[in-house]
């Protein structure tokens, strides 16, 4: 009986040893080392261990960037609401003048027989600068269709080619006899844009996307600024019969790190017979 038991123990020990050996050989002979955000896996362990004359090669090691993998996971599992803080726009501003300069209502505001040509702007020096406190993107359909909205400050600087001045009370525009080296009208609005965003490649941070919609702005400031040899630099604040609201079509085009924006006003710059519709186009400094 003892001999049978002893023989059985020997057979069982042999099976366990064989099983451990097989398990060891089934692990693909790899060593794993964690270094920061990287995992380094040494393949072909036996080759490097038993033949030291062979130097390690690129194919003998696998490197996994954990940070990149986590980023890829985040790109796939995006949040339904993402926020972009402090966006900056820099562009050119102008207006589309549709005024009927022959009407009595127009001549009561525009004096000295000024015509459309007299109120043209310096295109290269008329600017639009916007500072958006934030913009948010809300997922609607699989992060491909989103709602995009925000809050910010829109600022227009209209630089006149000719010597144009504004009278505050009563409000009217007239041709000045002073020669200005700088002659501009500034108008600023607190604005809320609301757009539909289409992002065909939501898994990519550098893909193509487009947004379009409307914005509503409320005028919070306006002034003229003139520089001349006779008077130096003069800044006058006033309403100048400007429209209190600025409603506009807006659009944005994103191509990788480059973002372009545009806007076209639905209502006139002035709240009278002068029909000038501001528009702007420029570059948007934004993460998305």
Same domain, 207 and 256: yes
Q: Which domain holds residue 64?
A: 2-71
Q: What DSSP element (H or E) covers 74?
A: helix 66-76
* Predicted pLDDT of residue 40: 67
85 shares its domain with 61: no
pTM score: 0.72
Q: In this structure, what token pair is assigned to residue 121? A: 């702007």
Cα–Cα distance measured from residue 280 to residue 268, given in angstroms and rounded to the nearest whole number: 14
pLDDT averaged over consecutive 10-residue blocks of the chain (288 residues)?
A: 51 49 45 61 55 50 58 56 95 98 95 96 96 96 95 98 96 96 98 97 86 98 97 96 98 92 98 97 92
- Same domain for 110 and 56, yes or no, is no
Give residue 65's pLDDT.
Answer: 63
pLDDT given at position 207: 85
Domain count, the chain: 2
Task: Identify the pLDDT of residue 50.
Answer: 47
Instruction: Answer yes or no: do 170 and 229 share one domain.
Output: yes
7 CB-side CA count, 13 A: 4
Residues 22 and 142 in one domain: no
The domain boundary, picked from 11, 44, 71, lies at 71
How long a stretch of residues is the chain? 288
Same domain, 46 and 99: no
Specify whether 34 is located in the same domain as 93.
Answer: no
pLDDT value of residue 129: 98
Domain boundary among 49, 71, 93: 71
**In terms of domains, do 242 and 215 share one?**
yes
Measure the CA dihedral 158/121/215/155, to 10°: -20
Based on the domain organization, do 166 and 84 belong to the same domain? yes
pLDDT value at residue 22? 46
| Same domain flag for 85 and 49 | no
Are 93 and 9 contained in the same domain? no
| Distance of alpha carbon 143 from alpha carbon 195, whole angstroms | 14
- Secondary structure (DSSP) of 147-215: EEEEEEEEEEEEEBSS-EEEETTTTEEEE-SS-EEEEEEEEEEEEEEEEEEE-S-TT-SSSEEEEEEEE
Of 29, 54, 71, at which residue does a domain stop? 71
Both tokens of residue 56?
Answer: 């390690």
pLDDT at residue 155 in the model = 98
One domain for residues 273 and 183: yes
């Amino acid at each position: 009986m003892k001999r049978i038991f002893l023989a059985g123990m020997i057979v069982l020990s042999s099976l366990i040893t064989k099983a451990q050996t097989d398990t060891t050989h089934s692990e693909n002979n790899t060593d794993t080392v964690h270094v920061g955000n990287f995992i380094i896996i040494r393949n072909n362990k036996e080759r490097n261990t038993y033949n030291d004359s062979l130097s390690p090669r690129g194919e003998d090691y696998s490197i996994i960037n954990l940070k990149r993998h986590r980023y890829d996971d985040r790109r796939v599992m995006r949040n339904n609401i993402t926020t972009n803080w402090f966006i900056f726009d820099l562009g050119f501003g102008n207006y589309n003048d549709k005024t009927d300069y022959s009407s009595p209502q127009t001549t009561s505001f525009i004096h000295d027989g000024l015509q459309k040509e007299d109120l043209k702007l310096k295109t290269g020096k008329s600017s639009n600068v916007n500072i958006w406190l934030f913009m948010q993107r809300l997922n609607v359909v699989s992060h491909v269709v989103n709602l995009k909205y925000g809050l910010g400050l829109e600022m227009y600087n209209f630089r006149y080619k000719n010597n144009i001045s504004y009278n505050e009370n009563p409000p009217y525009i007239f041709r000045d006899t002073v020669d200005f080296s700088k002659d501009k009208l500034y108008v600023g609005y607190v604005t809320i844009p609301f757009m539909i965003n289409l992002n065909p490649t939501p898994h990519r941070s550098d893909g193509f996307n487009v947004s379009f919609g409307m914005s509503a702005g409320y005028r919070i400031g306006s002034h003229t600024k003139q520089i001349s040899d006779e008077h130096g630099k003069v800044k006058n604040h006033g309403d100048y019969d400007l429209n209190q609201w600025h409603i506009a079509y807006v659009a944005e085009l994103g191509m990788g790190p480059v973002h372009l924006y545009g806007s076209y006003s639905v209502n006139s710059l002035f709240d009278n017979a002068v029909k000038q519709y501001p528009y702007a186009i420029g570059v948007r400094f934004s993460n998305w």
